Structure 1
Amino acid sequence: MTVGMRLDEAVWGLLHQALQLYRDSPRATGHLRHQLARLEEPLRIAIAGPWRSGKSTVLNAIMGEEVAPVDGPDGDGVFTWYEAGPQPRATAYSTSQPPRELTVVKSATGMRVDLVGWRAGELRSIVVQWPTRALRQVTLIDTPAINGTDEHGRAPVMDRVLRDADAVLYLTRDSRGTDLRVLESTRESRVGQDAPVNVILVLSRVDETGGGRIDALLTARQLARRQYRDPRVNALCVHMVACSGLIGLAGRVLSESDFAALAQLARVSRAELEPHLLSADRFVRGELPVRLGGEVRAALLNRLGLIGVRLATTLVRTGCDSRGKLAAELIRRSGLTELRESVNRFFVDRHDTLKARSALAAVEALIEAEPGPGTDELLSAVEQILAGAHEFRELRLLAALRAAGLGFDAELATEARRLVGGDGVGLATRLGVAHDATVQRLWEVAADAQWRWQNHAEDPLLRLAQRRGAQVVVRSCEGMLAELAEGGR
């Protein structure tokens, strides 16, 4: 919420200024027109991370269907794009051939794409159109594994991720070492330094930690909150969540036959069943105290993993006595609910801000690649927009509030988060009033909030970081009052 020129308007003007400057360069003008077109497209969210971090499983869990991975030939760095479409369809884009339609085989829980005949290195992208509500506002991008950094400290795959996507879910097994170095390499540009607001860090495959205990998911969430308070971590992302994509996906696609098999297992006492859940081989091949075929057991193991089977049978014993109840609790416990809420709050609700950020980054990269007369003034315009964009300050404040609250007491931190859009960006939601509140009511609440937070911003007893945070809240209140004065609600 910018006081003065809106961020999207400023970026639109910047792109046209750049088009005029680079009018004699076909490559540059084509790139800039592409950026203008992107402003009108759905938000692009890439799911990135190292090998076996669970990228495709998390993507499937978000979509609620098994559509990934679409595996290219061995060694390929293929990006797979999932966008909304009226019917299942897949198109391959190669480095040497025209686009080619691929055969899509639809299953009960998703699809499979036939990639027979493609050679390694030939495919660049696959675009999958899929009819689902999950893709109405976003395009999801499944990316190749990021295997560390090169001698210059860069990850080539991550460079393309940052060019093609507006926001990133970066999956990590431990949020340390190589993964942090990869994310730190994304902050080399001015946009990366001033607006590190497009990454959510996901502590993934958490069902495999904690020695297989059913409280491993809770432990992982506590670990994510603790690690996010590390300044090195929260400087790189707007939030960090723990999520088991496997268990979250299991909850979203759980069938009645799955539930019936789990209910049958749950009728066995925990003490009697537990020895059979010590390893996958024991569960699939051992003599269970109930009649459950090997294929059914293997399907449950594939769907839930050992910890998921343990968790599901425990939940059935303790009250999840229907498929719907069990599915909902698996989704909640997996961390998928928190992940989806974070994506909505930090990415979807802020799509205009993130798209503007992408355009700023693109112009900055173009200036670096093709410097010339007038580019210094263009770079100054980029820096001016970054310095004045209140939208970026709101997101950075939200990240700081989630990390440690800036030392505000719980009530102040909660109000600050709400006023800067942490609970939703609508005026009524920001102000904490009914959605049918009158303009007069909205004005009164916004004016009162502005006055109180101005006092906090000028309070000499507060730390500098707290006063600066309060100044951001004041600007948000001023923006709301300006919007109301213009007749918006």
Structure 2
Amino acid sequence: MNRSTIAGAVDLVQEALKVYGDDPASAAVLEGFARRLAEPLRIAIAGMVKAGKSTLLNAIIGEEIAPTDTGECTRIITWYRHGHTPRITLYPLDGKPRTLPLKRVDGRLVFVLGEVQARDVERLDVEWPSPALRNMTLIDTPGIASLSEDVSARSTTFLAPGDSQSEADAIIYLMRHMHAADLRFLESFRDTEAGRSGTVNAIAVLARADEVGGGRIDSLLSAGEIADRYRHDHNLRKLALGVVPVAGLLAQSARTMRQQDFAALQLLAGLDRADREKMLLSADRFLRSTRPEGLSAESRASLLGRYGLFGIRLAVVLIPNGFNEPTPLAHELARRSGLDPLLDLLDRQFQARAEALKARTALVGVESLLRASPRPGTGHLAAELERLQANAHEFRELRLLATLRTTGVPLSPELAAEAEGLVGGWGAASYARLGLDADTTPGELADAARRHLVRWRAVAENPLTDRSALDACRVVVRSCEGVLAESSARQRQPA
């Protein structure tokens, strides 16, 4: 993103603070925007109860620090930030924040609330020295559509407050199937003040994807077909940038594999294939089995709880086929869980445009404040706001992307699909916009960008092009020019 736009957003918030400094409520809101501009992108993980939100969060971080049981802590909004030393801070609805003790049980982080009830906690704030948290803050939220209306309301109010800004810049939304409740929530998130600015900033995850095929080794293939169907569904397509199938339990356990896990899986892999397949027909059969020798009942239960039948079945096939060391096996299991495509989508769709999403949130917030609390001496703020919004090409791309996915643009289906890619619908990186591989050379990128630029200039200048599509064409042309300039500059750099 243009550095002047980011700096302009920061300056605008500071100028607004000078004007509204005597209004504690407005000043608090503006100070919040200032912090957001300086912090990593905030990504919330949301979804129905038992969709596997905390499990997926652990997989992304690569450590088991989010509670995955059904205890009190899963009913609390919990922030996970990067910190040099581990720390857990509880923020009560009433009273001062306090630090919770750090406690691990069987390798998992446990939150000790003491006498405090979840309903009395505003949020938990976890600082953790994880590399994954350097560039993003993850927010774990209670389940949507919970039997407890209070639990559901917490997530909905936090993520989609309606007439104010959401605390999250983007959302990973987990669903088992595509229900009306899922669509309603994503629609409400898009309809917040930030959403009405014209941004599509949600990714959908087909959660617990291994259960789609009954835990068979090819379960992720079946889940991939369903995810592809959802990806092209008109109702979901306008609300989410993509749909990815993920076996969250396997992803978490693969990223946190222990030596004892690998040793147990090795023992199972050494069994006769027919015997092993009979044993793994069901969870009950696996737990009741007495083979192989050396694998205790406790080890079986632990293995089943951590990997599920799908993970165990997959691991014992991979081990004899070359993945006979813990690290290669863990990496392959994580890849086959669907986690890698999700991380890639997060990088392409969120991280690559993080500054634009944060700046857009801040500018829309200032605009809302000027509209809701007008006062003398704000003319210069309104003028600067309008200038920033008009000149930032990234904002025009986000608006066009939302339009292409909702009301549409009067272009042929082929051109509309091409425009969606070129403005960053499949990722903000140059290669993703052009539909090429990540290892495409700068020269090849420049050639492809040049071809697209010529094509879209011709579309824009064609008298038969619908007048209402001309603005969209100009945005696409500008995007092509940007990709061409970037690729040409990289081409000129010394090897």
Going from structure 1 to structure 2, the CA distance change for 1:181 and 1:419 (only over 3 Å counts) comes to closer
| In 1: Cα distance, 2:263 partner to 2:73 partner | 41
Going from structure 1 to structure 2, the CA distance change for 1:482 and 1:399 (only over 3 Å counts) comes to same
Q: In the alignment, which residue of structure 2 is the partner of 1:245?
A: 248
Q: In the alignment, which residue of structure 2 is the partner of 1:204?
A: 207
Q: In the alignment, which residue of structure 2 is the partner of 1:80?
A: 78
Q: What is the CA deviation profile of residues 256-299 of structure 1, one whole-angstrom value per residue up to 9, with x for unaligned ones?
A: 33223222212334432233223322211233355521111111
Once the two structures are superposed, the pairs formed by residues 117-136 of structure 1 within 5 Å of their partners are 117-136=115-134
1:113 aligns with 2:111: yes
Q: In the alignment, which residue of structure 1 is the partner of 2:312?
A: 309
Q: In the alignment, which residue of structure 2 is the partner of 1:280?
A: 283
Q: In the alignment, which residue of structure 1 is the partner of 2:179?
A: 176
| In 1: Cα distance, 2:147 partner to 2:392 partner | 31
User: Per-residue deviation at 1:208?
Assistant: 2.0
Q: What 5-or-longer segments of structure 1 have no aligned partner?
A: none
Going from structure 1 to structure 2, the CA distance change for 1:445 and 1:368 (only over 3 Å counts) comes to same
Q: In the alignment, which residue of structure 2 is the partner of 1:137?
A: 135
| In 2: Cα distance, 1:243 partner to 1:305 partner | 14
Q: In the alignment, which residue of structure 1 is the partner of 2:163?
A: none
Equivalent of residue 47 in structure 1, options 45, 48, 67: 45
Q: In the alignment, which residue of structure 2 is the partner of 1:30?
A: 28
Q: In the alignment, which residue of structure 1 is the partner of 2:260?
A: 257
Normalising by structure 2, report the TM-score: 0.81
Q: In the alignment, which residue of structure 1 is the partner of 2:331?
A: 328
1:346 aligns with 2:349: yes
Going from structure 1 to structure 2, the CA distance change for 1:346 and 1:358 (only over 3 Å counts) comes to same
Q: Which moved more, 1:331-340 or 1:304-313?
A: 304-313
Whether the 8 Å CA contact 1:144–1:157 is kept in 2: the answer is yes
Whether the 8 Å CA contact 2:345–2:427 is kept in 1: the answer is no
Whether the 8 Å CA contact 2:422–2:476 is kept in 1: the answer is no
| In 2: Cα distance, 1:322 partner to 1:385 partner | 54
Whether the 8 Å CA contact 1:453–1:473 is kept in 2: the answer is yes
Q: Give the 3-state SS of the residue equivalent to 2:45 in structure 1.
A: strand
Q: In the alignment, which residue of structure 1 is the partner of 2:393?
A: 390
Going from structure 1 to structure 2, the CA distance change for 1:401 and 1:214 (only over 3 Å counts) comes to farther
Q: CA RMSD in A?
A: 4.4
Residue 277 of structure 1 aligns with an amino acid whose one-letter code is L
Q: Give the 3-state SS of the residue equivalent to 1:93 in structure 2.
A: strand
Q: What is the CA deviation profile of residues 415-445 of structure 1, one whole-angstrom value per residue up to 9, with x for unaligned ones?
A: 984784956547999799999979xx99888
User: Per-residue deviation at 1:247?
Assistant: 0.8
Equivalent of residue 66 in structure 1, options 64, 67, 74: 64
Whether the 8 Å CA contact 1:7–1:389 is kept in 2: the answer is yes
Residue 221 of structure 1 aligns with an amino acid whose one-letter code is G
Once the two structures are superposed, the pairs formed by residues 357-436 of structure 1 within 5 Å of their partners are 357-363=360-366, 366=369, 370=373, 389-395=392-398, 407-408=413-414, 413=418, 417=421, 420=424, 422=426, 425=429
> Identity over aligned residues, as a percent?
42
Q: What 5-or-longer segments of structure 2 have no aligned partner?
A: 161-165
Q: Give the 3-state SS of the residue equivalent to 1:129 in structure 2.
A: strand
Q: Which moved more, 1:274-283 or 1:170-179?
A: 274-283
